[in-house]
Structure 1
Amino acid sequence: MQLSLASSISRSTPYDKNSQKQKEITCAVTHHIAKDMSPVNVVEKPGFRKLINTLDPRYNLPGRKYFAEKALPELYIKVREELASQLVNVTLCDFSTTADIWSSRTCEPYLSFTVHYIDNLELKSKCLQTSFLPEDHTGGIIAQGLQDALMSWNLNEARQVCITPDNGANIVKAVSLNHWTRLQGFGHHLHLAIERGMKDPRIDRAVAVCKKVVSSFSFSWKRRRDLATAQQELNLPAHQLISESPTRWGSREKMIEQEQAISQVLAADKKTQHLVLTWQDLEVLESVHKALKPLLEFTDALSQGWPTSSA
């Protein structure tokens, strides 16, 4: 059915900037940028602009400056006010907190602060803020940062039952300076216990060989292709190889998991036959695998859903 001239003109006429539809779509784009952590300049990408135009030709997509300086700050204020209203009752009841200092990919330091409380017999957790922390990470500066976080959200310090930070000496000192009760993290202690238990020359050697193997696959698409075939033949999970990480001991167990498929691929290539694990290494890795697998499953179950004293 052909559109009338008036209808055609109407469909090609841009929305007024104050129209409800224009505002709704702009809010949706702002939500996409914030929720999916997309770069603000996505609104200037040809593909994104074509998508928006195809969905609604009448919508006039603003530029990145509008989203960076107006839309996103307004969304932040709105979300913060909504969260603050949810925390009104927290000022009248007990709560606990967790804090963590971490670095971004560009090595910029941040302090995250989360509150945990019970509302209508339901356990709730809210990450209140992730603040840029450019100063030296002394105990005094971190202590002040934690104090500021509570004050910023009008949380009564006297109602804070405890705080669970990591075991860094500086943040432990900060909690002490604030005279707060510190609940040590079970998960972190479990990690330290495992790391200490794994300090054995035989394990170190076997894991070092595994690292070289993982590296050989990382730079060869052919080996990755052959690995996928071997995984299918051996009924192993189709996982990519994960190199061992000192801060994520579970990565070691996952690396060991693929040993059979790895050996099959390496043995078929003269250039990599020297990387095939010896029976001694295999015996060590199998023992490590048996020891770590239940612990990995345990920590996965522990971290599901709600924070506990293991936070």
Structure 2
Amino acid sequence: MIQRVLEQEKALSQVLKADRKTKHLVLTWQDTDVLESISRTLGPLLEFTDALSGEDYVSVSYIKPVLHLFNNTVLAAADDDTELTKDMKTVILKYLNKKYSEPKTVDLLDIASLVDPRFKDAYIADDRQEFIKTRAVAEILSLLEVQAATFSEPLPHTSTEAAADGPDGAEAAEVAVEWQSKKVKRSLGSFFKKASSDGTAALADREAIEVELKSYLQTMQVDGETDPLDWWWLYQANFPRVARLAHKYLCIPATSAPSERAFSFGGNIVTCHRSLLKPETVDKLVFLANNL
């Protein structure tokens, strides 16, 4: 809006001067200086806001690099800045740095940039790099344990009566009996063997994760225009454990804009003339409107 006013300043002045009732609304040079200072400060932020509000690409890993860029380049005080421009830049930087200074948020943003092959540890503070790498290893190990626990859950039907209820009940019952018999045949020594091997396996997994993470961080830096999801699609076989962490973090949106768009779609669908729509119907319509 301010840019548009500055672009049309001469035309606006001529129109306002032509009428006595609006002559007092003509911009003075002080007004113009204020608008130019505001435009100079907020103008560069427009493209960053649009980029971080997207939902068709990875955005959360951009936050730390963008904050670094704001602090060192975009919002850094310049020699030709007016006092108002400098004050606005200072206030904006103070707000942004405070907004993203909460410890849990900082950890999340650091790991998100770590698993982005475009940035890795380039924007993580030197005194936090080892902590973030250790945390990443622990999270990967936790993800692997959850996966192992999921695949090691017992069969849902362990009794012959429950297995015999389906169309293939006889065959299912045989499988259940065989599985139960195998379970009963376990010896007491197997429990001690498993207990001793679990610690060794966990240690081996941690070492393997650390080696894989180190190898990933040593790979060649990719171009800033590269889609990290495409990169991980190509190289997830080389770094399967780190890829799990990337899947967990890179899907997070950087702003609330995507959810606000979904609410807007919902508001356009559920109107006063369509207030009796069932919730499941609304869910389907919002999904279609948001994805078609």
TM interval, shorter chain, is under 0.3
Point out the structure with the larger strand share. Answer: 1
Q: Could you state the TM-score of these two structures normalised by the residue count of structure 1? A: 0.18
Q: Could you state the TM-score of these two structures normalised by the residue count of structure 2? A: 0.19
User: Which one has the largest radius of gyration?
Assistant: 2
